[in-house]
Chains A and B, each alone.
Chain A
Amino acid sequence: MRTRLLTVLLALITAILVIPGPAATADEQGGESLHGRILHPENRDQGVEGIVITVHDGEDEVGAATTDSDGMWEVGLPGPGTYRVVVDQESVPSEFVLREGIIVDGETEVEVEANDQRPLIVALMSPGQAESEEESASPSEEETEDTPAAGDESIETNVDSGSSFGERVIQLTASGLLFGLVIAVSAIGLSLIFGTTKLINFAHGDLVTFGAMIALLFSTGAAGMGNSLLALFAGLGGAVLIGGFLENRLSRTVLLVAQGVSILLGIVLATVLGVLGDAVGWSVPLWLAAVVAVVMGAVLGGSMERYIWRPLRHRNVAMIQMFIVSIGLALVLRHVVLVLFGAGRERYAGFQLQEMVRIGPVEMPPRDLVVMVVAIVVLVGVACLLQFTRIGKAMRAVSDNRDLAESSGIDVDRVTLYVWGLGGGLAALGGVLYGLNQVVEYEMGFRLLLMMFAAVILGGLGTAYGAMVGGLAVGLVAMLSTLWFPSQLMQAWALALMILMLLIRPQGLLGRRERVG
């Protein structure tokens, strides 16, 4: 292997030395330039037109540009060096002022390297805008990175900072409960999956994103892509069901063929529907779209278990390596979602501007109320499932002690499949609820994943009830921290709580001491 590698490398190096420098010219075509986009401070999807930017080398002006209707500008430069960039303050629309930061008094100095096409951030703000408010338009210099649409990464608290302390406490407690319920719904699966398979599923956050995106897709109009996805998942779901229920009744070959046929049919149907495209367009109300999302989430979870995790477990792949596989899957899932649905930040239509409802001292829009009610109903439902049904008891038994459960005759593989299905469905639902409360975008799940980690560690890894308790605690701590601290730090406080718990009681609130061994 090593010699083969070496030969290939040598051949490659020789080849490159022979080519007379095409690459060098390739990246010199652009030469040096400065560019950027000036955004409307309140509506970050909109640019500001007509702002004049000049670039000076010493006292000489070397170039100038005016922003176009999207706010874009670019100035070509004569070569590498240090330049002085001046933003003409006269040209800035009177309702805005330049935000002081890199730009001071409308000027800044920039170093430009050879072949550097450098972005430069010029930001506007409304004159009265508080300095502490979040800024937008985070730059991304890396060629390999996808440009994030906006930099606002904190979670909205929906609380007016003007009201009195007591009112804010009550209002934030309500928001915290809401946030905590969403975390709890999403995190149950994470905790149960850990309990049954000892796997920390780093892809769980992306199951959340997936659910939110699917609901968005079907509530706003599913044409080609929606139908294709639906067909694909129907095929996958069919295969998982065949695998799960007919395992002991059919021979191995028939089983494999049946699963293969199911998946193949799904793919064929998906292609046909994809080609038909918008001809079969339809959309459903959000609640129905949420149901579709939950079902598809369950199918996704189940098929990950059936076709990835179970084979890996049977190959005795070490736990640490499983973690890495789940990280790989998370990357794949997140970026497939990104390709399919784009990087935009969206909200579910029709639920944005709602009249606030007053319940006692708490004020919230009806959508948040619905989110809370749905979450509570689902949590109670899951608790009943775990407590009273046969499959629920089996899940808890496997979660408690996999070997013992196996030796007492429980079909551990099937229970694990159910756990993944349940976990995937709940994560998708969590995504819809989170999306209703906040915004839908491709990294939302990863951000929620960190909160879910905090929740499950707080409550006790591997216990479903621990995830619920931990979720609520994390939600409340995160929201209430904004009473005293900047809102950008609310996630940091939740994670600090997690670290504190690891120091005091690593097994979590409801965990048992031996688990951390």
Chain B
Amino acid sequence: MDILSILAESTRSAIGPIAAIYALAAIGLNFHFGYTGLLNFGQVGFMLVGAYGVGVSVAVLGLPLLVGFGVGLLCALVMALLLGIPTLRLRADYLAITTIAAAEVLRLVYRAGFAEPLTGGVYGLQNLASDFRSINPFDGGERYGFGALSYSGNNLWVLVVTWTLVLLMVGVSWLLMHSPWGRVIKGIREDEDAVRSLGKNVFAYKMQALVLGGMAGALSGCMLAVYQAAIQPDQFKPQVTFFLWVILLLGGAGRVFGPVLGAMVFWFLMNFTEGLLQGLGSIGLLPFLETTDYGAIQLAFVGLLLVLLIVFRPQGLIGDRKEMLINVK
């Protein structure tokens, strides 16, 4: 077992396209939970509509990729409105249940047989990235980078674009949260009745946050479609949302850079545990397990991480513990 190469591979994935895509979606979740206090357990649903916005537009309707991004974002807007109107006036737990249910229903609808002409059913859609690759300044077949950190030209292009989008969204969240708008949003997280008593339309603000975060999720879905060049409904299972929660809590909810750091550390850990399990398995140290169990063990590990983070370090890596302790709710 080569621990150094496991570490190197883990680092490679920590700054790779997948980490960037998850960072983007986690920034959306940060808007929901970190700043506004909305319990969205269905962020993967926003990713799904984003990805299929691109997929259906490009692969089925033959529209340009940019239109696909537009469609994806529009779908997220509609979904946020549909989710928010019945639930945002109610207690937080109702939103939690509704979002997790809605995301799962969306997946079932997109994979259903009758939707197949549009969504490709369980098989999903393919060949989505040709527009994107046609403007690739790098050579798709070439490898770039040095040492362990090298990516194929296509992946490097996705990586550059996605991290740019991440930085853009970080900038947007910084600007918003350091404005009077952000002050109202944070106020709502603390106590929405108090904010309402000061003449702010709490419902409208929550809706804006839901839409904004949903759009970030959809954007991440769009980039996922571009990165993989193919999408299937079953990659949008609820556990993706749970990954995003771990990422957000790991990095620090309510921090501008929390989701970014969280995504990098999370994918580092995921690949590290995987490498470690396989390494240990290959030298016969895990006699009771088969290689197919490793994925399950990893997911159990994600769950455990979620529990331990909440109990022992609720502020995440870059949060302020004192600030967390003041929270008396």
Interface residues of A (CB under 8 A from B): 1-2, 5, 12-13, 15-24, 26-27, 79-80, 101-102, 109-111, 113-115, 121, 123, 131-135, 137-148, 151, 153-154, 200, 202, 312, 317-321, 323-325, 327-336, 338-339, 343, 446, 450, 453-454, 457, 461, 486, 488-489, 491-492, 495, 498-499, 502-503, 506, 516-517
Q: Which residue of A lies closest to B82 (CB)?
A: A499
> Which residues of chain B in 276-329 are interfacial with respect to chain A, using CB atoms and an 8 Å cutoff?
289, 292-293, 295-300, 302-307, 310-311, 314, 317-318, 327, 329
Q: Taking the nearest CB of chain A, how far is it from the CB of B167, in angstroms?
A: 18
**Residue among B150, B237, B304, B318 making CB contact with A24, cutoff 8 Å:** B150
Q: Which residue of A lies closest to B128 (CB)?
A: A111
In the bound assembly, the distance between CA atoms of A294 and B318 in angstroms comes to 44
CB–CB B93/A114 < 8 A: no
- Chain B contacts of A23 at CB under 8 A? 5, 8-9, 12, 148
**Residue among A147, A200, A312 making CB contact with B97, cutoff 8 Å:** A200
Q: Taking the nearest CB of chain A, how far is it from the CB of B9, in angstroms?
A: 4
In the bound assembly, the distance between CA atoms of A392 and B16 in angstroms comes to 55
In the bound assembly, the distance between CA atoms of A160 and B36 in angstroms comes to 49
Given A114-B141, A141-B232, A200-B96, A339 contacting B126 (CB threshold 8 A): no
CB–CB A332/B292 < 8 A: no
In the bound assembly, the distance between CA atoms of A113 and B302 in angstroms comes to 29
CB–CB A138/B238 < 8 A: no
**Residue among A1, A139, A147, A491 making CB contact with B105, cutoff 8 Å:** A491
In the bound assembly, the distance between CA atoms of A343 and B232 in angstroms comes to 20
- Chain A contacts of B129 at CB under 8 A? 111
Given A22-B4, A327-B242, A113 contacting B154 (CB threshold 8 A): yes
**Residue among A80, A137, A141, A332 making CB contact with B303, cutoff 8 Å:** A332
Q: Which residue of B lies closest to A109 (CB)?
A: B127
**Residue among A144, A321, A331, A446 making CB contact with B310, cutoff 8 Å:** A321
CB–CB A332/B304 < 8 A: yes
CB–CB A331/B302 < 8 A: yes
Does residue B108 face the partner (Cβ distance < 8 Å to A)? Answer: yes
- List the one stretch of B47-55, B83-91, B199-207, B212-220 in contact with chain A: B83-91
CB–CB B123/A121 < 8 A: yes
CB–CB B143/A111 < 8 A: no
Q: Taking the nearest CB of chain A, how far is it from the CB of B154, in angstroms?
A: 6
Interface residues of B (CB under 8 A from A): 2, 4-5, 7-9, 11-12, 37, 39, 41, 85-87, 90-94, 96-98, 100-102, 104-105, 108-109, 111-114, 116, 120-124, 126-127, 129-130, 140-141, 143, 145-150, 152-155, 228-230, 232-235, 237-239, 242, 245, 249, 270, 274, 289, 292-293, 295-300, 302-307, 310-311, 314, 317-318, 327, 329
- Chain A contacts of B7 at CB under 8 A? 12, 15-16
Q: Taking the nearest CB of chain A, how far is it from the CB of B301, in angstroms?
A: 8
In the bound assembly, the distance between CA atoms of A138 and B317 in angstroms comes to 37
In the bound assembly, the distance between CA atoms of A260 and B299 in angstroms comes to 28
**Residue among B101, B143, B289 making CB contact with A339, cutoff 8 Å:** B289
CB–CB B105/A332 < 8 A: no
Q: Taking the nearest CB of chain B, how far is it from the CB of A288, in angstroms?
A: 28
In the bound assembly, the distance between CA atoms of A390 and B5 in angstroms comes to 63
Q: A321-B314, A486-B112 are in contact. List 9 more A-B contacts (CB 8 A).
A: A114-B155, A139-B232, A144-B270, A153-B108, A453-B97, A457-B94, A498-B98, A499-B102, A502-B86
- Chain A contacts of B317 at CB under 8 A? 1, 5
Given A132-B113, A318-B327, A446-B238, A21 contacting B148 (CB threshold 8 A): yes
- Chain B contacts of A139 at CB under 8 A? 122-124, 232, 234
CB–CB B93/A200 < 8 A: yes
Q: Which residue of A lies closest to B87 (CB)?
A: A502
**Residue among B5, B130, B228 making CB contact with A26, cutoff 8 Å:** B5
CB–CB B90/A339 < 8 A: no
CB–CB A16/B148 < 8 A: yes
| Residue among A17, A80, A324 with most chain B CB within 10 A | A324
Q: Which residue of B lies closest to A502 (CB)?
A: B86
CB–CB A498/B101 < 8 A: yes
**Residue among B101, B155, B245, B299 making CB contact with A324, cutoff 8 Å:** B245
22 contacts between A and B (CB under 8 A): A1-B317, A16-B11, A101-B121, A123-B123, A138-B122, A141-B228, A141-B230, A318-B327, A319-B92, A324-B310, A328-B305, A330-B303, A332-B300, A335-B297, A336-B300, A338-B293, A450-B101, A486-B114, A488-B109, A499-B98, A502-B87, A516-B91
**Residue among B41, B229, B230 making CB contact with A327, cutoff 8 Å:** B41
CB–CB B311/A331 < 8 A: no
Q: Taking the nearest CB of chain B, how far is it from the CB of A423, in angstroms?
A: 17
In the bound assembly, the distance between CA atoms of A312 and B312 in angstroms comes to 11
CB–CB B292/A146 < 8 A: yes
CB–CB B296/A338 < 8 A: yes
CB–CB A101/B300 < 8 A: no
In the bound assembly, the distance between CA atoms of A327 and B229 in angstroms comes to 31
In the bound assembly, the distance between CA atoms of A133 and B121 in angstroms comes to 11
Q: Which residue of B lies closest to A110 (CB)?
A: B126
- Chain A contacts of B307 at CB under 8 A? 325, 328-329, 332
CB–CB A17/B147 < 8 A: yes
- Chain A contacts of B155 at CB under 8 A? 113-114
- Chain A contacts of B302 at CB under 8 A? 328, 331
In the bound assembly, the distance between CA atoms of A330 and B7 in angstroms comes to 29
CB–CB A325/B108 < 8 A: no
- Chain A contacts of B4 at CB under 8 A? 15, 19, 22
**Residue among A135, A325, A491 making CB contact with B311, cutoff 8 Å:** A325
- Chain B contacts of A115 at CB under 8 A? 152
Q: Taking the nearest CB of chain A, how far is it from the CB of B159, in angstroms?
A: 13
- Chain B contacts of A325 at CB under 8 A? 306-307, 310-311
| Residue among A2, A16, A153, A319 with most chain B CB within 10 A | A16
In the bound assembly, the distance between CA atoms of A332 and B305 in angstroms comes to 10
- Chain A contacts of B233 at CB under 8 A? 138
- Chain B contacts of A153 at CB under 8 A? 108, 111
CB–CB B150/A339 < 8 A: no
CB–CB A495/B105 < 8 A: yes
In the bound assembly, the distance between CA atoms of A320 and B232 in angstroms comes to 32
- Chain A contacts of B108 at CB under 8 A? 153-154, 488-489, 491-492
In the bound assembly, the distance between CA atoms of A114 and B102 in angstroms comes to 36
Given A19-B5, A23-B9, A102 contacting B123 (CB threshold 8 A): yes
In the bound assembly, the distance between CA atoms of A331 and B239 in angstroms comes to 8
CB–CB B329/A318 < 8 A: yes
In the bound assembly, the distance between CA atoms of A143 and B229 in angstroms comes to 16
CB–CB A327/B245 < 8 A: yes
Q: Which residue of B lies closest to A500 (CB)?
A: B86
CB–CB A502/B94 < 8 A: yes
CB–CB A328/B303 < 8 A: yes
In the bound assembly, the distance between CA atoms of A457 and B90 in angstroms comes to 12
- Chain B contacts of A141 at CB under 8 A? 228, 230, 232, 235
List 4 A-B pairs, minimum CB-CB distance, nearest first.
Answer: A331-B303, A328-B306, A488-B112, A335-B300
CB–CB A132/B303 < 8 A: no
Given A145-B295, A325-B310, A20 contacting B152 (CB threshold 8 A): no
CB–CB A146/B296 < 8 A: yes
In the bound assembly, the distance between CA atoms of A20 and B148 in angstroms comes to 6
Q: Which residue of A lies closest to B94 (CB)?
A: A502
- Chain A contacts of B87 at CB under 8 A? 502
CB–CB A111/B229 < 8 A: yes
In the bound assembly, the distance between CA atoms of A151 and B4 in angstroms comes to 38
